[in-house]
Structure 1
Amino acid sequence: MLMLDPYNCTNYTAAWDWLSSYQPVFMVLLSVVGVVANGLVLCVFCLQRKPCTVADVYLGNLAAADLVMVSCLPFWAATIANNYHWEFGEPICKLVNVAISMNYYCSVFFLVLVSVDRYLALVRPMFQSRLRRASWAKRICLGIWIMGFLLSLPILVFRRVKYVAKAGVMACVLAYPHPDWEIQRNVTNNVVGFLLPVIVVSYCSRHIVTSLKHGQIRKTPGVRSERKATQLLLTVLTVFLICWTPYQVVRFLDTLDYFQVTPGCLWGHILDITIQLSTYLAYAHSTINPFLYVIVGRQFRKRAKEVFGTIQLGCLQYSLALSNSCCN
């Protein structure tokens, strides 16, 4: 039986070896499935004949953020498979990690916007706001992308490729000038990137569910459509919380570990491993979202059939025209 010594961290290399052996395969799988799935979702939102609703604009941008994030995962899969040796240069080191950070902030902010839109549509239907116009929604999304970039600026500045003597590799690391910067990043991530959005989303969702449950909403065709969109939203929000809450909790515990609440290196080692596991659960969220649109979103399935039916018809017509021209 292995005895866990909180002051001896040499016993835990087996756990890291096991984790590192599965990470590259898992990340490549997430990337391939996520790129295809989110790419198809974007095709549906961009090529549909009907004008985009406000919710479509927000969900389309959410799919774009997820697509960017899963496109970055192969770089880290290759790096982990190569014992964390970074071979892509410092500019790519900065770009990839800024993109991953932006994806998180933008994703959670887009979900907040969809929640507010559903709240205004179902709970405050008489409240006419510019927020419920597609043109304004696009401008708001641009602002969200800019905000996500600004929140990721520390990563752009302090991510660099440097030699790590302990591992004996040139690694892409986040080299803050002082340990307090790491604490500030964790707190910003917890508060701005999770706690405040969850408060807003919970408030909106509670009122939406209450209105639906007590039948306070008139059953007109337009409202029934809004209800279906809301069911999709609530499912997406639930999955978001399942995927991202463990990561946020572990990051908070990591902040406490900075103040040496627990002696020895056992706690820090366990945190390092759980941060890795919770991070990849969070990454999986970007791959799961498109399947939620298909499984829960009846209107999305209808639009997808129309879009891909039109594409199939266009390809068939092109093939016939090409064959006729060859015969002539």
Structure 2
Amino acid sequence: MVVNASDRLVPTVGPESDSCSNYTEAWLWLSSLQPAYLGLISVVGLVGNGLVLSVFCLQRKSCTVADIYLGNLAAADLVLMSCLPFWAVTIAQGYQWDFGEVLCKLVNVAISMNYICSVLFLTLVSVDRYLALVKPMSPSRLRRTSWAKRICLGIWSLCFLFSLPILLFRTVMHVEDPGVNACILSYPHPGWSLHHNITSNVLGFLIPVLVIVYCTRHIVAVLNNRGARGLPELRAERKATYLVLAVLAVFLFCWTPHQVMRFLDTLDYFQVTPGCLWGHVLDIGIQLSTYLAYSNSAVNPFLFVIVGKHFRRKTKEVLGKTLNPWSKDLSVSFISMNTLNETQRINLEKT
């Protein structure tokens, strides 16, 4: 995960030419828009994912396996959204980092963990839908809530291990050219960045997407099977599946450009595509694709509300559960007052 050009494999430094001048103008224009954009998606994402997480935690019925995975996805998105304001302030100050080295490490570790957690939780959700619709008669431990919770704990641990290099090598350093103390990723050797890019492309995208595509292909085939449409045990599963398919589609739309840009950045490391202009295009492209990827975390809650009929019903139940105690107390107080008044009236009549 990158949030500035200094995190690229090979920072582009070239002579002052027309292309470099245009690059500077484009970079300044982009930097002027980033703080407002990051602030907007942070507010939207915090409110939306907070609502989703609250509904899953406060619902009356026990969570299904899909609920557990989607709830952890919302938690990962919530963590990311809470970290973006730090970068909004930093970019607004010309990349001057004023939050100390500890937060420099922790904020960027959390941002890095979000991506790998998101793609793995979505992969598990697609596998769960595959087992529910394609293999409904085949019992599997993966469809047990106890196992789902253990798997989620394992994924959070794995994501932290994946982000350890960022914890080790993120630091606050003085950068001469802008004249600021910047929070940068300072690897001891460019090979570290190359390894991170390849791992992110292969383990964090290619393999999970292949699993998702395989599961989705069979899920869609079952949904289009007229003979299976009338089966009562599949009707409830379909409602959750449509939501999952929408979340997967938006995830691929938001994250594929970023992964493509990381792959092109790897090619640039080997100087397959040399040139000042190409390096500048990569810088801008990585920035744009990164913020498109961040948008995914703010969009997901809207998918739950728009596509998820089952989720909307849960939301109404949770709101009803939250408001009912107040209405019950008011009703009891009203009835008690009426009873007391009636008793006093009868006593007065007797006297």
For each residue in 1:219-253, what CA deviation from the matched residue of structure 2 results, as whole angstroms up to 9, or x when unmatched?
33331010111111111100000000000001100
- Alpha-carbon separation, structure 1, partners of 2:109 and 2:126: 26
Correspondence for 1:88 among 87, 90, 99: 99
Q: What corresponds to 1:269 in structure 2?
A: 280
Aligned mates of 1:237, 1:322 — CA distance in 2:
49
Residue pairs, 1:246-285, within 5 angstroms:
246-285=257-296
SS in 2 for 1:85: coil
TM-score normalised by structure 2 residue count: 0.88
Q: Structure 2 residue aligned with 1:244, among 242, 252, 255? A: 255
Equivalent-residue separation in structure 1 for 2:168 and 2:303 (angstroms): 36
Deviation (angstroms), 1:119: 0.5
- The DSSP-based 3-state class of the residue aligned with 2:174 is strand
**Partners of 2:161 and 2:151 in 1: CA distance:** 15
Corresponding residue for residue 190 of structure 2: 179
Residue 304 of structure 2 corresponds to residue 293 of structure 1: yes
Deviation at 1:213? 1.4
Q: Which residue of 2 aligns with 1:201?
A: 212
Mapped to 1, the partners of 2:139 and 2:26 lie a distance apart of 56
Q: 1:78 to 1:136 in 2, by over 3 A?
A: same
1:197 Cα deviation from its structure 2 partner: 0.3
Q: Indicate whether 1:11 and 2:22 are aligned.
A: yes
Aligned residues: 321
Native 8 Å contact 1:94 1:159 kept in 2 = yes
Corresponding letter in the other structure for 2:242: Q
Partner SS state of residue 188, structure 2: coil
Residue of 8, 15, 36 corresponding to 1:25: 36
User: Matched residues in 2 for 1:322 and 1:63: separation?
Assistant: 39
Which secondary structure state, in structure 2, belongs to the residue aligned with residue 84 of structure 1? coil
Query: Structure 2 matches for 1:12-161, cutoff 5 A?
Result: 12-161=23-172
Taking a change above 3 Å as real, the CA distance of residues 27 and 21 of structure 1, as seen in their structure-2 partners, is: same
User: Residues 268 and 274 of structure 2 are in contact (CA less than 8 Å); yes or no, is this contact kept in structure 1?
Assistant: no
Equivalent residue letter for 2:37? F
Q: Secondary structure at the match of 2:226?
A: coil
Distance 1:88 1:155 in 2: 17
- Mark the runs of 5 or more structure 1 residues left unpaired by the alignment: none
**Distance in 2, Cα, partners of 1:120 & 1:90:** 45
Within 1, Cα distance between the matches of 2:326 and 2:79? 28
Aligned to 2:349: none
Q: Tell whether the 8 Å contact from 1:112 to 1:200 is kept in structure 2 after alignment.
A: yes
Measure how far apart 1:176 and its partner are. 0.3
Q: CA deviation at 1:109?
A: 0.3
Name the % identity: 66
Distance across 1 between alignment mates of 2:30 and 2:71: 34
CA contact (8 A) 2:68 2:149 kept: yes
CA distance in 2, matches of 1:310, 1:221: 29
Q: Separation in 2 of the partners of 1:14 and 1:145? A: 40
Contact conserved, 1:84 with 1:169, CA < 8 A, in 2? yes
Distance 1:60 1:27 in 2: 23
Coordinate RMSD, CA, aligned:
2.0
Residue identity in the other structure for 1:264: G
Q: What is the rounded CA distance, in whole Å, between the counterparts of 2:213 and 2:112 in structure 1?
A: 23
Q: Following the alignment from structure 1 to structure 2, what is the Cα–Cα distance between the partners of residues 27 and 218?
A: 43
Per the TM alignment, residue 184 of structure 1 is displaced from its structure 2 partner at its CA by: 0.8
In structure 1, what is the equivalent of residue 228 of structure 2? 217
Partners in 1 of 2:50 and 2:315 — Cα distance? 12
Q: Is 1:306 the counterpart of 2:317 in the alignment?
A: yes
Question: For 2:273, what is the secondary structure of its paired residue?
Answer: coil
Letter of the 1:244 counterpart: W
